[in-house]
Amino acid sequence: MIVLFTDFGVEGPYTGQMTAVLLQSAPAVPVVSLFADLPPGQPKPAAYLLAAYARWFAAGTVFVCIVDPGVGSDRGALIVEADGRCYVGPDNGLFEIVLRRASRNRVWQIAWQPPALSASFHGRDLFAPVAARLARGETPDSLGRQTQAMPQPGWPDDLAEIVYIDRYGNAMTGLRGMALSPGARLSAGGRVLAHAETFSAVPQGAAFWYVNSNGLVEIAVNQGRADRELSLAVGAGIEIFS
Amino acid sequence: MIVLFTDFGVEGPYTGQMTAVLLQSAPAVPVVSLFADLPPGQPKPAAYLLAAYARWFAAGTVFVCIVDPGVGSDRGALIVEADGRCYVGPDNGLFEIVLRRASRNRVWQIAWQPPALSASFHGRDLFAPVAARLARGETPDSLGRQTQAMPQPGWPDDLAEIVYIDRYGNAMTGLRGMALSPGARLSAGGRVLAHAETFSAVPQGAAFWYVNSNGLVEIAVNQGRADRELSLAVGAGIEIFS
Amino acid sequence: MIVLFTDFGVEGPYTGQMTAVLLQSAPAVPVVSLFADLPPGQPKPAAYLLAAYARWFAAGTVFVCIVDPGVGSDRGALIVEADGRCYVGPDNGLFEIVLRRASRNRVWQIAWQPPALSASFHGRDLFAPVAARLARGETPDSLGRQTQAMPQPGWPDDLAEIVYIDRYGNAMTGLRGMALSPGARLSAGGRVLAHAETFSAVPQGAAFWYVNSNGLVEIAVNQGRADRELSLAVGAGIEIFS
């Protein structure tokens, strides 16, 4: 399976063009778009989401990860192998948390070159063809040379910030549930929030935090929108009182 | 074919995670997302849309239906068989209209249990795996025990309310076209509307009602947006003068 | 491969119903949605986008193209063959630029009739079944009779207007990059813009024009939104100073 993890938007032609390239190059491999609406141009929140969501896919999955504000600059282009999964994308921190948490990993600078490379859409011209080759069984060694990813030493292991807001207004953080005790309180948007197991455990309209289905701490309002009621946006900081 | 019918949003990771589970469990079965943007958390309008849209799919189709504000509570989890199609989802009224209109139907409480069940994403952990098993040929009897769905006696056979607003601003109602005579007039948003066969049968900018391609009464403005011009939203009531 | 090119919206049931029809009629053919959010009801900007994006697909691809404000009127229904690719859709100018740029082309009026044709959704009832038949190898001659598309003599070869705004706020025009010299300046939204090769070639916050990955002139702001900062919308005119 090839999984798309991008900030292209659910609109527009970009996901469709990527999918067409992948289906033409690796016709037997299903393509699934996991995220098309990552926070635009921000590799940092995306790095925490990728680490939380990728764990959930089988070994052998190839992720094409594109949050690439530096396209056209000289930032590198990577293949990452971590705990049996493969990742392809720009060298801008997107793989930092996956790499840090992996029990074993290797990284390659992509050396393969497409017949034509546009200045602004390396997803279609470089990363999708490389992902299709990996999905068809070509080795990373045949496509690049081993290297290290550019490190992001200032990024914490768990990020006390909002990294994504979903359709219901629930606000995901970059904190793993295992990093907090259930008795911990969070402060977000000027409110102090206690833990609950589920939405139905709190009264209608009450704000709370819980560990979501991918293991991340999420802030929600039962039958309401946490983003509006607590004025939360991607990048907003969270305080933890444990 | 497996059909997704949800309020997950076209954004975010939920449809992608569901699709990945389905493709891993039933690789030969195509997955199509019919609705990802049902009115969030509202099983009632979704029930009328499901009955109108499902008729249009072949026998053997498996629908995964998730509008589930009670996830994490003790609401039941159902398999429904109605007129040869299968449905999987929460027992909250979502299948009420499908069941009522079916010439024959059976209902099972799901007994199958996943290895791990998150508190907030039964779509991924319970309903998708059950749908994949049904699509692969397992029987409802092997996955659950026969029961009745929780009845919704207060819900009418045809719902005189807006149930969905599409991209063009057209407002679908829960009324079947066959429930109205072509001479009927509707009152919506303070305006009285006559019937027309098609958009091009009325002047540019005129509001009217018509029977849409799935048999539901829909309110529209030729080359305009009915939602804005008549101030319509999901849940708004319609009066019928026949 | 069958490619969807529509203004249906990424929301709602229309793309899902089309995909289901195509998968039922041509199960072995992958379906990719290229654009679902073309400017609603406007065949003219769509015609320039189609010509720019279709070039990029292999011969044999079948495009289902639906921007159809005249559905229900007596506008024609076409099959177009241009440079080895097939197109199906309404006769309202959508194929004008593809036809004009093709080294060879033929056009058929669709004669095939579906068992039932709704008044408002010819995409599902007429164009998708015809596309599936073409993808399975039926010939245009067996589905229609040769004709000419309704000409649009007033449409220029390159359109100096915004035709699409993407998720990042970048504004695509209907001008091919090859129609401008790199020294050309564009005036849009009251600002005069110079050319740059890539985003990273201009300072953060600077507006510029560049040739996008599909060969169209696009207006952008490095790490900003051109649509907001220059007040651009689909249909806004561009002036060229070369």
So what's the pLDDT on residue A27?
93
User: Where does the pLDDT of residue C206 fall: very low under 50, low under 70, confident under 90, or very high at 90 and above?
Assistant: very high
- Numbered residues of chain A with Cβ closer than 8 Å to any chain B Cβ: 1, 3, 10, 30, 32-37, 53, 56-58, 164, 166-168, 197-201, 210, 212-214, 223
So what's the pLDDT on residue B146?
98
Instruction: Count the neighbouring beta carbons within 10 Å of the beta carbon of residue A241.
Output: 10
CA distance B107 to C67: 42
Task: Find the mean pLDDT for residues C42-48.
Answer: 98
Nearest to A16 among C34, C197, C223 (CB): C34
Per CB-CB distance under 8 Å, the chain A contacts of C6 are none
Nearest to A19 among C32, C53, C166 (CB): C32
Mean per-residue pLDDT of chain B: 96
pLDDT tens for each residue of B121-177: 999 999 999 999 999 999 999 999 999 999 999 999 999 999 999 999 999 999 999
Task: Find the mean pLDDT for residues C98-116.
Answer: 97
CA distance A211 to B152: 33
Residue C211 contacts by C-beta under 8 Å, 6 or more apart in sequence? C177, C217, C218
CA distance C9 to C14: 8
From A109-113, B50-54, C54-58, the region with the lowest mean pLDDT: C54-58
Q: Do B213 and C24 touch (CB under 8 A)?
A: no
Per CB-CB distance under 8 Å, the chain C contacts of B164 are 12
pLDDT tens for each residue of B212-224: 999 999 999 998 9
User: Where does the pLDDT of residue B56 fall: very low under 50, low under 70, confident under 90, or very high at 90 and above?
Assistant: confident
CA distance B73 to B68: 10
pLDDT tens for each residue of B39-50: 999 999 999 999
If DSSP codes are grouped into helix, strand and coil, which group holds residue C18? helix
* More confident site: C138 or B119: C138
pLDDT tens for each residue of A129-178: 999 999 999 999 999 999 999 999 999 999 999 999 999 999 999 999 99
Q: Which residue of chain A comes nearest to B19, CA vs CA?
A: A32
So what's the pLDDT on residue C88?
98
Burial B37-58 (b: 16+ CB within 10 A, else e): bbbbebbbbbbbbbbbbbebbe
So what's the pLDDT on residue B222?
92
Nearest to B20 among A32, A37, A198 (CB): A32
Q: Which chains touch C (3 or more CB pairs under 8 A)?
A: A, B
Burial B213-231 (b: 16+ CB within 10 A, else e): bbbbbbbbbbbbbbbeebe
What distance in Å separates residue B79's CA from the closest CA in chain A?
23
So what's the pLDDT on residue C70?
86
Instruction: Count the neighbouring beta carbons within 10 Å of the beta carbon of residue C109.
Output: 16
Asked whether residue B242 carries a pLDDT value surpassing 80, the answer given is: no
So what's the pLDDT on residue A1?
96
What distance in Å separates residue B115's CA from the closest CA in chain C?
31
Distances (CA, A) of A131 to A86, A123, A192: 8, 10, 44
Supply φ then ψ for residue B154, to 5 degrees. -80, -10
Please, is A52 exposed, middle or buried when counting C-beta atoms within 10 Å of its C-beta (0-12, 13-18, 19+)? buried
So what's the pLDDT on residue A111?
98
What distance in Å separates residue A153's CA from the closest CA in chain B?
28
Asked whether residue C176 carries a pLDDT value surpassing 90, the answer given is: yes
Asked whether residue C242 carries a pLDDT value surpassing 90, the answer given is: no
Task: Find the mean pLDDT for residues C196-204.
Answer: 91
Task: Find the mean pLDDT for residues C51-73.
Answer: 93
pTM of the entire structure?
0.96
Q: For residue B21, what is the DSSP state? A: H
What distance in Å separates residue C186's CA from the closest CA in chain B?
32
CA distance C123 to C136: 18
Nearest to C11 among B56, B167, B213 (CB): B167
So what's the pLDDT on residue B40?
93
So what's the pLDDT on residue A160?
97
Task: Find the mean pLDDT for residues B9-23.
Answer: 94
Q: Which of B30, B46, B26 is nearest to B38 (CA)?
A: B46
Task: Find the mean pLDDT for residues A96-115.
Answer: 97
- Numbered residues of chain A with Cβ closer than 8 Å to any chain C Cβ: 7-14, 16-17, 19-20, 23-24, 27, 37, 40-41, 69-73, 118-121, 124-125
Task: Find the mean pLDDT for residues A17-34.
Answer: 95
So what's the pLDDT on residue A73?
84
Centroid of chain to Cα C63:
10
Question: Do A51 and A97 touch, CB atoms closer than 8 A?
Answer: yes
Q: Do C34 and A27 touch (CB under 8 A)?
A: no
Nearest to A13 among C35, C58, C197 (CB): C35
